[in-house]
Structure 1
Amino acid sequence: MSLRADTTAGVRRFSRTERWVHRTTAALMGVCVLTAACLYVPQLAELVGRRALVVTLHEWAGLALPVPVLAGLASRAFRADLGRLNRFGPHDRTWLRAALHRDRRHESRPAGKFNAGQKIYAAWIAGATLVMLATGLMMWFTHLTPLVWRTSATFVHDWLALTIGIVLAGHIGMALADPEARKGMRTGEVSREWADRQHSLWRP
């Protein structure tokens, strides 16, 4: 029996470095979101108090957000997966059309190691993180930029933060709905059956 036919065999999906990058980035993003909520929601601000400490945690967690990804670039597996996330092919357009039409048949949603939704999410969250970092630095080092820049940066930072919170909630919700995907990020392995069903074009 070939390895491809053995649906009980485990398939290596993520390396240890990739899992470390994901967990560390998730932790830093979680600190950013929670501290932002404490800064902008009056009830949470009153409950937590110590605004100066919350601001400091928020600033340094935001500044550290790119660090795990930059460190992960030393890993060949991580670089390879970044390349996969950055490539959008005809099968991804097919996947998106099926998703938009709410076609839940697996054969109508062809995907490589990452599906089109995961690729779009990765690109969006990476871009949003860079924008948040740039606008946050403008708000932090107030003496380096004109007032109109800081005002615009504050507007973009605040509204993009709300958008990120909503998108992250959707990301977490989808992860909770797929135990096998969570297992892949937790242990690095998924079942062959899941890989064949959800990522039919992936050949590990």
Structure 2
Amino acid sequence: MVHRATGYLMLVCLVTAACLYLGPLAQLVGRRHLMVTLHEWSGISLPLPSLLGLLSADFRADLRRLNRFAVYDRQWLRAVRKRRTAPEARPAGKFNAGQKIYAGWIAGAVLVMMSTGLLMWFMGLLPSISRTSAIFVHDLLAWAITFVLIGHMRRAFEDPEARLGMRTGYVSRSWAERYHSRWLKEEGMGTVTGETEEADKV
């Protein structure tokens, strides 16, 4: 739910930003004041799903996993640099090294976007920082987030099992063994083989 709610808020941010930033789209949509209001409030609400998620022990456990870089994560990154795509060359826990880096980067980017957005919204908040500087950083980072999110969604569409896990909270054990084998070991579930593995869920 945290991921989905954050995704919806981010989508509203990006769509309304496009309606404000791109001239032809702004003319087509109109209603600039509504777009500004939606953009501001969806942006300032972005941290709320994660803050509410802290009430869940499972979410806090996932945050600890994302915040911890293991030895095998370095192996995963080396395999990516060498373009080795075999799953055994890219060991991963519940989250692989790429997901951990992405999570840290997007969290920091959201905080910077919120800060610069507030400086644009309340111009007297920090008089030492000009509105022009805030706009420059905000716009530049917005483009970076857009391209990174496109890559994020592209990877998601290439992995239907991962999308199923995001929707239902369950993945097949065979998929977990193939792409997140360290996760099974960390959870003490070991490995499974044979015809029953396709039906098993973790």
TM-score after normalising by structure 1 = 0.89
Query: Partners in 2 of 1:113 and 1:147 — Cα distance?
Result: 44
Residue 112 of structure 1 aligns with an amino acid whose one-letter code is: G
Is 2:103 the counterpart of 1:122? yes
- Is there any run of 5+ residues in structure 1 with no aligned partner, and where? 1-19
* Alignment equivalent of 2:45, drawn from 49, 55, 64: 64
Could you tell me which runs of 5 or more consecutive residues in structure 2 were left unpaired when the two chains were aligned.
188-202
Give the fraction of aligned pairs with identical amino acids, expressed as a percent: 64
User: Aligned equivalents of 1:131 and 1:95: distance in 2?
Assistant: 28
SS at match of 1:65: coil
- Alignment-mate amino acid for residue 87 of structure 2: H
183, 186, 193: which one pairs with 1:202?
Answer: 183
Q: State the 4+ residue runs in structure 1 displaced beyond 4 angstroms.
A: none
From 77, 87, 90, the equivalent of 1:109 is 90
> After superposition, what is the alpha-carbon deviation per residue over 1:22-75, rounded to whole angstroms, capped at 9, x for unaligned?
111000000000001111111110110011110000000001000000000000
Give the C-alpha shift of residue 148 in structure 1. Answer: 4.1
SS of equivalent residue, structure 2 residue 183: coil
Shift of 1:157: 0.4
Query: What CA distance in whole angstroms lies between the structure 2 residues aligned with 1:185 and 1:97?
Result: 27
Deviation at 1:200, TM superposition (A): 1.1
Q: Which moved more, 1:21-30 or 1:141-150?
A: 141-150
Q: Which structure would you say has the larger RCO, counting Cα contacts within 8 Å and 6 or more residues apart?
A: 1
Q: CA RMSD in A?
A: 0.9
CA 1:43/1:147 → structure 2, altered by over 3 Å: closer, same or farther?
farther
For residues 202 and 64 of structure 1, the distance between their equivalents in structure 2, rounded to whole angstroms, comes to: 32
Q: 1:47 aligns with which of 19, 24, 28?
A: 28
Q: Where do residues 118-197 of structure 1 align in structure 2 (5 Å cutoff)?
A: 118-146=99-127, 148-197=129-178
Residue in structure 1 matched with residue 12 of structure 2 by the alignment: 31
Query: How many residues are treated as equivalent by the alignment?
Result: 185
Rounded to whole Å, the distance in 1 between the matches of 2:144 and 2:135 is: 14
- Cα deviation 1:149-200 (Å, max 9, x = unaligned): 3221111000000000000000000000000000000111000000000001
Find the residue that maps to 2:171 and give its secondary structure.
strand
Q: Determine the C-alpha separation between the residues in 2 that align with 1:164 and 1:129.
A: 9
Write the mapping of 1:80-95 to structure 2, written as runs, cut at 5 A: 80-95=61-76
Calculate the TM-score normalised by the size of structure 2. Answer: 0.89
Question: Which AA in structure 2 matches 1:83?
Answer: R
Letter in 1 for 2:91: P
